[in-house]
Each structure stands twice: as C-alpha cells, then as structure tokens.
Amino acid sequence: MRHLLIPALLAFSVFCALGQQTQKPPLHGRNWMAITGKPLAATAGAITFQKGGNAIDAACAMLAATCTMWDVLSWGGETQALIYNPKTKKVIAINAMGVAPSGATAAFFRNKGYHFPPEYGPLAATTPGTPGGLLYMLANYGTLSLEQVLAPAMQMAAGYPMEAQAANSIERNKDHIKQWPYSKKVFLTHAGEKREAPEAGEIFVQKDLLTTLNKLVEAERDALKKGKNRKDAIMAAYARFYTGDIAREFVRGCREQGGLITLQDLAKWKPLEEEPLMVNYRGIDVYKLQQWTQGPVMLQALNILENFDLKGMGYNSTKYIHTLYQAMNLAFADRDFYYGDPYSEPREPIKGLLSKDYAKQRAALIQYERNAPEIGPGDPYPFEGRTNPYINLLRTRGYELDTTKRNFAPKQDMGNNSPEDEYHERLWLGTTSVEAADKDGWVVSVTPSGGWLPACIAGNTGVGMSQRMQSFVLDSALNPFNVVEPGKRPRVTLSPSLALKDGRPFLSFAVQGGDTQDQNLLQFFLNIAEFGMTVQQACEAANINSNQLWLSLGGTRTEDRQPKPGQILLHNSTPETVRNDLKRMGYTLSFDDRTSGPVNAVYFDWKHGSLWGGSSNHGEDYGIGW
C-alpha cells in the first residue's frame, strides 16, 4: 500500500491538534445531560430534569416532544431503548416495536402488485409502539408522574412555532397528505393557497393530539383518585390507549382509510423487556438490541475489526477506509439474510453470528487489493453447533458458500436504476435520537422513529401511523427470517448503543439515518476507542458510508433496494492520494461536507466525575447539560 498512510495520518493529527475547535462546542454537565434531534425537545428534557426527574423521565419527555414535532417521527411510530440501571449495574433493552396487523401477509401484498409492503399510507402501518414503550419505561424506571412528563409535549400540541425543516417537509409532501382526510386537516393549515403548509415560525396547533394526550393524563388522574399506585396509574393510561376509547378511534380511522389494524391487534401487543446483545471490543463491552434491529451489525463488525491493527493503519487512511468498508459489507451481508424477529419462527443464528471464531473466518475474506463486490452471507450455524437449513436457498439465490468465492448480490439483482437522490433518501431515511444521563447513574439511549411526514393520521386521534411495514420482505429468498406475517416485528434499522468499561458506563450513543446508522455508530465508537477523540470531535469526524447493502426502506420494486457494490461516500476533505487509491481498488466515489451521521452521545468522565455531551453538527440536533 506504499505511502498511503501519510495524508490521512496528517489529517488525523491536524484534527486532534484543534482540540476544542469543533463546529459545535462539547457539552459539559455534572448533574445531567439531555440530547436529542430537536432544540425544543432537548429543552423538554432539561425542564424535566429541573423538576427533579431522572434520566428515564427526561428521555420520555424528549421522546414525547419529538413525536409532537413530526418530520422524523410521531406518536404512532416505534420506540426501543437501552437503559443502564445503576441499582442492578446491568443494561436492559426495551422492545416497543409494533407488529404486522391481522391480514398482513406476503400473499396480500403480492396480490396488490407490491415487491415490498408500501412506503406510505395505512397499509404501511404496524401497530403503534411508541405510546406503550414510553409508558412502560416511565412506569417501571421513571420517578415522575405521566402528567409531569407529558407537560412539555402537551404545551407544544396546544401550539408551538414550527421549525422550517418540518414545515417545508409538509409542503414538499402535500400531494401525499391530500390523500388522507385527517392528515390534510392537521397539516395543510393554508389549504387552497400557493403554500398550503405552515410557515417556519408559525404557531402549529394540534387539537386532536392534545385531546389524546389529555385522555392519557385523565386516565392516570382517575387511577390515582381510586388509590392506585404511581406505576398502576401510568399503566391505566396505557390501557386507555390500547384498549379504550383512543384505541377505538385509532382503529376506526385506520380502517376507514384502508388500513388493516384491528382492536384485537392493539390489545394483544405488548412492549417487551429483553436481554441486550453484547460483544467485548478490546476491553469495552458494547451493547445493542437484539436481531429484530440491525444493531448486531455493529457488533459483528467490531468482532471482525478486532483482528486488525486499526490505529496502526491511521485514521481514514486508504487501508483503514478499505478495511472498514469490507468489514461492514461482511456484516451487512449477514444482516440482509439472517436477521429478523426472534419471537417468530424461524430462529436466527445470532450466537453464531456474534461468535469471535466466526468473525475470524469472515475477517480472512478481506483482500487488500480491491473491493469485493461478490461478498455474501456467511454460514454462522457451525459456530453454534447447528447445520444451516438454508444452504440450498442461498445457492438458489446464487450465493456461493465456498470461503474463497462469495456472491454478495446474485447476478440478476446487480445494479439499481433508481435516481441517485431517491436512493440516498432511502439510505439515510431519518428518525431521531434521544440520549439522557443523570448523576445517580441512570443512562438511556433511544432511537425512536415511525409516523414521519408524510404521515397518515388515524382518525381524530391526531396520531400518525407508522410506516415500518416496508422493512419486511415478501420473498423468503431475500431473507427467510423477515417475511411479513401477522403479529411479527419487521427487522428495523433503529439502533441505540451503550458501552461499559470496567463495569461502568463509558458511552451512550445513537444516530438517525436508516441503513447508515450502524455504519456511523461504528466509526464514532472507533474514533474514541482507537483514536482518542473527544466525544464532540467523534460526533463531527469524517466518516465513510457504504452502499453495498440491501436497503431497508423505500421503493416499491426489488431494484429500488438492490446493493450498489463499491459505492462509497467520503468526506470532501479526503486527500487526493486516498481518492485515487480507492478508485484503483474498484470504488465509485461520492462526497459530502458532513458524513458523520448525525450522531448524538454522552461520554462518562470518571476521572473528573462529569459528563461530556456530543451533539451532531448536522441539522437541528441539540443538547443541554447541567
């Protein structure tokens, strides 16, 4: 690789020498930290901390506020979280992902001409998970009342100045919105005018949503008056949403517009508390959600990369970029075929996928001369003492299981004819992130999503329905673990992260951005663990993104989601020598001035007894510490 390290090492040394000269300053706090994707929502977290709440209370307040602000999620979407409990000194996982409703079968969607469930509208909706997840977390791990935690969101529903990002998104998507009467009523505040969406700064009022939130608080109040304890009172609000009058109106509005969700679907669904998955990377325990998310991709990539001297390669040198890209490709190839809902058959080979020995086998496939567009799923089954039942299916698809020859994408699947802007919108399709930590040791990392604009609102609830059905497949040859069926969770991109070092919290981090989430989170983590960056430097540092994967979101045809082998996104500052070397290795390059996520994070400074916050220099991400 000749002298390839020199330019990137110089870039790294210059970057670190800048110290605090990031585009945004690092956050510092002694008592608490509240970071999320919207300034008003970060303020909601700060308000909640000032009321005496803990990190779970603040995270729930930020979640409620971001849901009320639309654009990247709403109240009918999905939530999941990793929580560090200082009392037990363990990390727990919250699964509040909705499920496919009654009647949602592969045959149903194929008969309508779909290659995947649709992107938008009532048929894209799983059952809402965010209300249940928020209420479960608050009831079991928070300290404040629901009324206290929802107060900022309720004030916002009564009217808040809408930011330009959401306002302009409504205007861009108004043709979609006009298809759905309840969405049109809420969003198109200037119907019939040239601009039908709200203007930036306009006070946006959501009467129906405010009524729904008031009903939740009323249920809590009524339960308290009857002598119920705090937890049971909050769960009374849960019952009203999923089995009471809110549920009835939600289902009526959903089905009126052609959706499939039934009252039984809502009543049967429950949030789940799970054991997270974890791998140790050079002495740091990194935690992710289970394989119904893409989170294990990062864990697999870390296992692979542990076999290389990354620091010796140099930050963003040609060799480092190439090794990262290849490791991510190997992990994503497994994700695309083996990940799915662990509560449904068939059962995923997650033990084998996270085996260190399996990672060594995968790492041995990395060649330093060129990109490998033929890389495909491996065979993790022997690493958990089982025989792969899908070998014939893989071969039917054109995958080769010989370790010297791997087909990442079958020949008939190569290429993608969709326009570049549409492709990258699907790749980066947004959500938000919520990070909270307090002086007592509670830590929360959340990546909520679903019900983003253009959202189809369910009746007079003011609640936008999820669009997460699109992450299912209809063809078992693409992924036998992720075929849609009633009661099943789709394999989602949502991926919060926690890391412990020496048994104590080290990092809490998450990012928005569809299939790029675990690509950016992986590099953020390595920026700190390998290259010693501060948390704010790591949030802003130049990353790469791979397009050599199956997209999880967007498009209606198989070709809309196909991998683009060798396509790589680099930062504008990438040295010319590195660019030329990557081109010679078979990469197709594109560039941007911000490639880091956007990542939001908390770093735990045990030496000084303080918290460092990192908040992305993308968009509207914002944090407050005290």
Q: pLDDT at residue 489 above 60? A: yes
pLDDT in the model for residue 312 = 97
pLDDT in the model for residue 6 = 42
pLDDT in the model for residue 398 = 63
Quick one: what percent of the chain has pLDDT higher than 90? Answer: 86
Question: What does the alpha-carbon distance between residue 615 and residue 536 come to, in Å, rounded to a whole number?
Answer: 7
> Which pLDDT band, with edges at 50, 70 and 90, does 556 fall under?
confident
For the chain, which residues make up each domain, given as ranges? 44-79+87-272+440-490
pLDDT in the model for residue 555 = 79
Q: pLDDT at residue 575 above 60? A: yes
DSSP structural state of residue 549: S
CB neighbourhood size of 428 (10 A): 17
pTM of the model: 0.93
Strand (E) positions, 414-479?
434-438, 443-446
> Which pLDDT band, with edges at 50, 70 and 90, does 417 fall under?
very low
Write out the two tokens for 423. 């492709």
Write out the two tokens for 282. 């050079």
Quick one: what percent of the chain has pLDDT higher than 70? Answer: 91
* Residues 228-282 pLDDT 10s: 999 999 999 999 999 999 999 999 999 999 999 999 999 999 999 999 999 999 9
Strand pairing category for 277-281 and 610-615: unpaired
Question: What does the alpha-carbon distance between residue 503 and residue 561 come to, in Å, rounded to a whole number?
Answer: 41
DSSP H/E element including 204:
strand 203-204
Question: What does the alpha-carbon distance between residue 490 and residue 478 come to, in Å, rounded to a whole number?
Answer: 14
Three state DSSP letters for 9-36: HHHHHHHHHCCCCCCCCCEEECCEEEEE
* Residues 32-84 pLDDT 10s: 999 999 999 999 999 999 999 999 999 999 999 999 999 789 999 999 999 99
* Residues 203-217 pLDDT 10s: 999 999 999 999 999
pLDDT in the model for residue 277 = 98
**Residue in this structure with the two tokens 């959401």, named with its chain if needed:** 166
**Residue in this structure with the two tokens 């930011």, named with its chain if needed:** 163
- Please provide the average confidence, as pLDDT, over all residues in the chain: 92
User: At a CB cut-off of 8 Å and minimum separation 6, what does 241 contact?
Assistant: 131, 132, 135, 216, 247
* Residues 330-376 pLDDT 10s: 999 999 999 999 999 999 999 999 999 999 999 999 998 999 998 89
Question: What does the alpha-carbon distance between residue 24 and residue 622 come to, in Å, rounded to a whole number?
Answer: 10
User: At a CB cut-off of 8 Å and minimum separation 6, what does 367 contact?
Assistant: 326
Question: What does the alpha-carbon distance between residue 289 and residue 94 come to, in Å, rounded to a whole number?
Answer: 8
Is the backbone peptide bond immediately before 131 cis, with ω within 30 degrees of 0?
no
pLDDT in the model for residue 596 = 86
User: At a CB cut-off of 8 Å and minimum separation 6, what does 143 contact?
Assistant: 52, 53, 54, 56, 57
pLDDT in the model for residue 430 = 62
Question: What does the alpha-carbon distance between residue 382 and residue 389 come to, in Å, rounded to a whole number?
Answer: 11
DSSP structural state of residue 489: P
Write out the two tokens for 57. 């209370």
* Residues 1-31 pLDDT 10s: 333 344 444 444 434 434 448 999 999 999 9
More confident residue, 426 or 241: 241
pLDDT in the model for residue 410 = 30
pLDDT in the model for residue 11 = 46
Task: Please state, in angstroms and as integers, the Cα–Cα distance from residue 399 to each residue in 325, 405, 514, following that order.
Answer: 20, 9, 25
Q: pLDDT at residue 434 above 80? A: yes
Write out the two tokens for 619. 């968009």
Bridge partners for 444 per DSSP: 83, 436
